[in-house]
């Protein structure tokens, strides 16, 4: 039996590739533009609409933590759901969590949960270790 339904991991990896490469116009290929709903715990409340979520990402993260390199440590996929535990390595280039830019290369852990329908991400819940990141940004060298 052949299925045409994209696996959530495949959709997620394309989403991340477009996001990191700045190919924002392509995100609609893998995310429900109007119905996309996400929560980035500690930074935003529930957000609906890909344009709003993307603006939040650019303003709150991408403009402050640059040169983003993701690493997947664990992946769990079941039906239309995906859970990934990973880490990001970033450069602290702009004020983040009240800390002026340090230029330091730091890393932090995250857990990302997705639901995919019709080959598009419709729901995302992101937990990041903001405390661990803040500790790295405020340590005296």
Q: What CATH number should be reported for the domain holding residue 80?
A: 3.10.450.50
State the distance between the two ends of the chain, measured CA to CA, in whole angstroms: 59
From CA 12, how far away is CA 31, in angstroms rounded?
9
Q: For residue 43, what pLDDT is reported?
A: 87
Give domain status of residue 56, yes or no.
Answer: yes
Burial letters 17-34, b for 16+ CB under 10 A, else e: ebbeeeeeeebeebbbee
- pTM assigned to the model: 0.87
Percentage, residues of the chain above pLDDT 70: 95
Q: Work out the mean pLDDT of the chain and round it to a whole number.
A: 92
Q: For residue 3, what pLDDT is reported?
A: 47
The string of pLDDT tens digits covering residues 80-131 is: 999 999 999 999 999 999 999 999 999 999 999 999 999 999 999 999 999 9
Q: For residue 6, what pLDDT is reported?
A: 67
Q: Write the CA distances from 14 to 27, 67, 98, 119, 134, integer angstroms.
A: 8, 18, 32, 11, 29
Q: For residue 141, what pLDDT is reported?
A: 63
Q: For residue 89, what pLDDT is reported?
A: 97
Give domain status of residue 81, yes or no.
Answer: yes
Give domain status of residue 1, yes or no.
Answer: no
Q: For residue 109, what pLDDT is reported?
A: 98
Give domain status of residue 3, yes or no.
Answer: no
Provide the residue range defining the domain that includes 56: 8-138
Query: Looking at the predicted structure, is the pLDDT value of residue 4 above 80?
Result: no
60-87 mean pLDDT? 95
Q: For residue 1, what pLDDT is reported?
A: 40
From CA 47, how far away is CA 38, in angstroms rounded?
5
Give domain status of residue 91, yes or no.
Answer: yes
Q: Is 2 exposed, middle or buried (0-12, 13-18, 19+ CB in 10 A)?
A: exposed
Percentage, residues of the chain above pLDDT 90: 84
The single residue listed with the structure tokens 């997705």 is 114
34-44 mean pLDDT? 92
Give domain status of residue 84, yes or no.
Answer: yes
Give domain status of residue 63, yes or no.
Answer: yes
Domain total in the chain: 1
Contact 84, 75 (CB under 8 A): yes
């Amino acid at each position: 039996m052949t299925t045409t339904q994209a696996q959530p991991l495949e959709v997620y990896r394309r989403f991340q590739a477009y996001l990191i490469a700045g190919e924002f116009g392509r995100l609609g290929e893998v995310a429900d533009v109007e119905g996309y709903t996400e929560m980035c715990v500690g930074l935003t409340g529930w957000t609906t609409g890909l344009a709003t979520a993307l603006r939040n990402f650019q303003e709150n993260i991408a403009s402050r933590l640059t040169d983003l390199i993701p690493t997947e440590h664990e992946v769990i996929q079941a039906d239309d759901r995906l859970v990934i535990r990973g880490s990001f390595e970033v450069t602290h280039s702009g004020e983040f969590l009240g800390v002026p830019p340090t230029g330091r290369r730091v890393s932090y852990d995250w857990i990302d949960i997705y639901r995919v329908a019709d080959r598009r991400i419709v729901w995302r819940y992101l937990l990041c270790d903001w405390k661990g990141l803040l500790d790295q940004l405020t340590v005296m060298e």
